[in-house]
A and B are shown apart, each in its own frame.
Chain A
Amino acid sequence: MNTVPQSVADLAADNRRLAWQLALGALLMVGFGYLLVPIYRVFCEYTGFNGTTARIDLGRAATQGIDRSRWVTVEFAANTSADLPWDFRPEVASLRVHPGEMVVAQYEARNRSRREIIGQAVPSVTPGQAAAHFRKIECFCFSRQPLAPGQTLKLPVQFQVDTGLPPGIATLTLSYTFFELPGGRITAAGIRHEVPS
Chain B
Amino acid sequence: MAVKIFFSLCMSAVVYFFIVAGKSSPAEWIYAGFLMVLFVQMIRTGDFSKYRRIFQFTFAFLFAISFIGILYDERGSMAIAEDSIQNSEIPFCHITIPLTMLPYFITKTVIFPARIIGHFASVISMLLIWFIVTITIGRGWCSWVCFYGGWEDGVSRLSKKTRFRLLSYNKDIRAFQFAFLFFIILVSFAFLSSVYCEWFCPFKIVTEFSQITDIPGLIATVMFIGLFLGLVIVMPFLTRKRFQCVSFCPFGAFQSFADRLSSFRISIDTDKCSGCMKCASSCPFCAIDKDTITGKKGRPEITCAKCGECIAVCPEKAISYQFSFVRKGCSGPEAESKTGEIIQMFLEPGTLFLFSAFTFSVIISSKFGPDALMRIFSIFTGGL
Please indicate whether A and B come from the same complex rather than being unrelated chains.
no
Residues of A within 8 A of B (CB): none
Residues of B within 8 A of A (CB): none
